[in-house]
Structure 1
Amino acid sequence: YYTPCQDTIFDMGGPNGNYFDNEKYTYTLAPQNATGLTLAFTQFDVEANYDTLWIYDGPAITSPLIGSYTGTNSPGTVNSTGGALTLRFKSDGATVNPGFYATLQCAIDNIAPTTMVDAGNWQTQDFTAAFTDNDNIQIGKRFFQVMDNDGSEWRANGNHGFFNDNFGSVLYPDWTTVTGDWSVSGGHLVQTNEALTNTNIYAAVQQSAPYEYLYHWQMYIDGAQVNKRAGLHFFCDNPDSTNRNNSYFIWFRLGATPYVELYKVTANVFSMVHYVSYPIAAATWYDVKVMFSPVTGKMDVYINNVFLTSWTDTSPWQSGIAISPRTGGSASQFDDVKVYRSRTTSEQITIGSSASMVRYQNSSPSLPSCRIRSLVADVNHNLATSSADVNVDWTAPLDVQVFDGTAADIDTSFSLTEMDGNWTASSDPHSGLVQYHFAIGTQPYADDIAGWTATNDLFAHISGLSLTDGETYYFTVRAENGAGLLSSDSASNGQVAWFPVSAENLNLNAGLMVFPNPARSEIFIACRDAINNIRIIDINGKTVRNEKVSRDNNLRLNIENLSKGCYRILVNGKYSANIVKN
């Protein structure tokens, strides 16, 4: 591969000499982030019909053939449709000529793509996250990561191919230490034993085709040894094994010439499959991203968000169960270890159980329990990220208890146009309380008298009603939380509506009316005269209650403390009526 964007291209004889007999070579011009190449030939002279140059529109000789050229039939100016051209030249065993000379120029795409996540605000059940990705050329890869927050730290469910650890304060039980002195210190995962050449700590993450995966972490390599190394295994199928049995790993080696090395491990035997020099410095943090497809076998490596290199495994591993940081002869640190999974433009997000992507509800209305990250790479290795926080609450608020009246529960009310009810406060730790809804009906939970009405109060006074004298009516109340979930409906035990009685309505011969009769908790007394004394006498003639009052002609009297039985009510010493207490 040839990487400069502007240069001169010539045969093996150089710019001033002839090419050689029996040449046979292929090379590809593929400058990083190039969107188009122009190759302008200013000289072309090869032995006609025996020596030939082929030019292909792409990164290999399997790409479309632009043309084959021999003699002085110059290609002239050649333009690619993408970011690569491949040249193949062959000469026979006799006669050499001046060959070819060309200048290369290319167009570079350094415009980053964009990505956005739309997942709504409050979610109460499984939901769809929509992703909007755009690029000036074309999006190449799409990844997402679903994290959940248990109230203290952002984590992820490895069973869905995600992982997240920011190493806030403790080493979580997600990690299993096999070899090495691993701990969390200063907000980083730290391995301090420089004497060991192969340390091993791992965490479970399910990885399998057809998904592609993105491994993202920060790394810091230090120590007194000369040959310091550190890196990460992924697609491990047995992480307890010496070299994680079958896996891949990327190895950062500090030495006289620092390298980034790629290895494939088969049955604990590892083989270097690709390497590239890179100016790795000790005691320096690096951001590393590795994209891997078990379908195509292609692996892309980025350092500090800049594309470094690629390698393709023609027989890639199809599944793994863990990732595993590794160090050798170094005191190294890791941070923000993340695993993303490939996606489409929309993904179903599951919530509500330990097996879901989101295992926790909001710990408070202001702390979302779900975060969805998106990362995209365009075809020229430009990157973009974004994220969205999502509030989650899948449980209804606390049920309320409903009472008739304005305070303590009543059995009767004395109006055919108005009713009062009140209820206990509800609560919801996840999304908070938004409001209450109440209704009035002739049966518990019914709304045939007054339809559902929202309120922020713990009481309701309804006027303008048309009630039936002696009919029982019920308040029903439900609470609503910030996520829109409703509590169960709770109903009062009912209140009997009675027509209010004045002195003019009384039987003038009796002068007294007491109702309801029988009664359970209270009675209403209407008298011809203003009421100033109430005396209650039981069936044995014993006075059980004697009270002085200062009232007008009407009085509501609580009789809850009376035992069940028959009583005589004596008002002002001259009006009397019999009642039954239930």
Structure 2
Amino acid sequence: STNGNFISFRTGNCSINVNELKVYRSRYPSVTVTMGDNTKDIRYQNPNPTTFGAKIKSIVVDANNNLSAIAYHDLNIDWTAPSSVSVNDGTSNDVDTIFDNTTASAVWTTSNDPNSGISEYWYALGTSPGATDIVNWTNNGANTNLTVSGLSLNNGSIYYFSVKSKNGADLWSNIGTSDGFIILNQNSIYNKKVKSINIYPNPSNGIFKIELEDYQNIRYITIESIDGKIVYKRRVNDKTTEMKLDIQNGVYILKIWEENGRITLKKLLIHT
């Protein structure tokens, strides 16, 4: 039978001890071997990267019923993608602001794949989460950190690092993306910080507080989307200002406008 599931092992009423039993079935010169659940030919993945998940064996029978030597091939089996990573902007802890528009760094957690291991990481840099318009997907080998130089990033803009991993079976993880960083030029009016700013919680669900130590010198605050649209504006009259925003999830730029025209920028994350 070509679609049987069992064999009948006859002993002729003898008592036997079987250490290993192999069953071969007839085949064509080319055959498709399925893998997956318990209805398939190969039902298990590698338990670890160095232990094969399957072995295929074949023998040939001639016209006189002589058997050839057994030909075999060990197979690495992995049909599941590796885990995704968590990405920080900067060289260690996550940073919100970078003051050099020619260099940017990122670091991420290790990806995991129990069946075939991680072969390499790829990264990209863009002006929106997952975008590649600044640096296209680039192989970073087995390293979980990087520094990109020779950039020309725009002052006041937000950029995002994206990272994905590839396992030994050439399967890709989901893309992990940083929460973004703002570029501020050292000589920019944006880089004249208010004495003390505290935003909490951040990220928030749209309800948060802003504490400004020298609020008397603040004209107003604005919140802008990453494409520059002002979604909120108000004057500041107290050291602590409570904000209640009904806006979409995402990254926003909080601008604090001083009486002398200087501006301080902060990254604001909304996630309901």
Q: Is the 8 A contact 2:197 2:213 kept in 1?
A: no
The question of 1:430 aligning with 2:112 is answered: no
Q: Mark the CA change 1:358 to 1:321 in structure 2 (over 3 Å): closer, same or farther.
A: closer
Q: 2:130 aligns to what? A: 445
Q: 2:75 aligns to what? A: 390
Counterpart Cα distance in 2 of 1:331 and 1:350: 36
Q: Mark the CA change 1:390 to 1:405 in structure 2 (over 3 Å): closer, same or farther.
A: same
Q: 2:159 aligns to what? A: 473
Q: TM-score, normalised by structure 1?
A: 0.34
Counterpart Cα distance in 2 of 1:341 and 1:391: 22
Which of 1 and 2 has greater Rg? 1
Counterpart Cα distance in 2 of 1:364 and 1:349: 22
One-letter code aligned to 2:94: D
Q: Is the 8 A contact 2:86 2:108 kept in 1?
A: yes
> Cα distance, 1:321 vs. partner?
4.7
1:357-506 matched pairs, under 5 angstroms: 357-384=41-68, 385-455=70-140, 456-501=142-187
Unaligned runs of 5+ in 1: 1-207, 212-318, 507-511, 522-535, 542-561, 567-574
One-letter code aligned to 1:408: N
Q: Mark the CA change 1:379 to 1:437 in structure 2 (over 3 Å): closer, same or farther.
A: same
> Cα distance, 1:400 vs. partner?
0.4
Counterpart Cα distance in 2 of 1:340 and 1:351: 18
1:178-189 matched pairs, under 5 angstroms: none
Q: 1:335 aligns to what? A: 19
Q: Is the 8 A contact 1:564 1:580 kept in 2?
A: no
Counterpart Cα distance in 1 of 2:96 and 2:241: 16
Q: 1:181 aligns to what? A: none
Q: TM-score, normalised by structure 2?
A: 0.69
Counterpart Cα distance in 2 of 1:320 and 1:401: 45
> Cα distance, 1:518 vs. partner?
8.7
- Select which of 213, 226, 230 maps to 1:537: 213
Q: 1:354 aligns to what? A: 38
> Cα distance, 1:340 vs. partner?
1.1
Q: Deviations over 1:482-528 (max 9, x none)?
A: 11111001111111111122xxx78xxxxx9227x99869xxxxxxx
Counterpart Cα distance in 2 of 1:382 and 1:580: 82
1:93-132 matched pairs, under 5 angstroms: none
Higher strand share: 1
Q: Mark the CA change 1:381 to 1:563 in structure 2 (over 3 Å): closer, same or farther.
A: farther
Counterpart Cα distance in 1 of 2:138 and 2:43: 34
> Cα distance, 1:538 vs. partner?
5.3
Q: 1:188 aligns to what? A: none
Secondary structure at 1:486's aligned position in 2? coil
Q: Mark the CA change 1:481 to 1:445 in structure 2 (over 3 Å): closer, same or farther.
A: same
Counterpart Cα distance in 1 of 2:265 and 2:242: 6
Q: Mark the CA change 1:321 to 1:386 in structure 2 (over 3 Å): closer, same or farther.
A: closer
Counterpart Cα distance in 1 of 2:214 and 2:165: 45
One-letter code aligned to 2:193: V
Q: 1:16 aligns to what? A: none
Q: Is the 8 A contact 1:417 1:463 kept in 2?
A: yes
One-letter code aligned to 2:192: M
Q: Mark the CA change 1:451 to 1:320 in structure 2 (over 3 Å): closer, same or farther.
A: closer
Counterpart Cα distance in 2 of 1:473 and 1:370: 45
Q: Deviations over 1:456-488 (max 9, x none)?
A: 211111000111111110000001111111100
Q: Mark the CA change 1:519 to 1:419 in structure 2 (over 3 Å): closer, same or farther.
A: farther
Q: Mark the CA change 1:404 to 1:453 in structure 2 (over 3 Å): closer, same or farther.
A: same
Q: Mark the CA change 1:519 to 1:410 in structure 2 (over 3 Å): closer, same or farther.
A: farther
Counterpart Cα distance in 1 of 2:198 and 2:80: 41
Q: Is the 8 A contact 2:160 2:181 kept in 1?
A: yes
Q: 1:286 aligns to what? A: none
One-letter code aligned to 1:395: T
Q: Is the 8 A contact 1:361 1:394 kept in 2?
A: yes
Counterpart Cα distance in 2 of 1:540 and 1:497: 27
* Aligned sequence identity (%): 35
Q: Is the 8 A contact 2:192 2:263 kept in 1?
A: no
Q: Mark the CA change 1:491 to 1:366 in structure 2 (over 3 Å): closer, same or farther.
A: same
1:148-297 matched pairs, under 5 angstroms: 208=1
Q: 1:137 aligns to what? A: none
Q: Deviations over 1:427-461 (max 9, x none)?
A: 11000111110000111111110111112211111
Secondary structure at 1:399's aligned position in 2? coil
> Cα distance, 1:324 vs. partner?
2.8
Secondary structure at 1:387's aligned position in 2? strand
> Cα distance, 1:379 vs. partner?
1.7
Q: Deviations over 1:528-563 (max 9, x none)?
A: xxxxxxxx735599xxxxxxxxxxxxxxxxxxxx97
Unaligned runs of 5+ in 2: 201-211, 218-238, 244-259
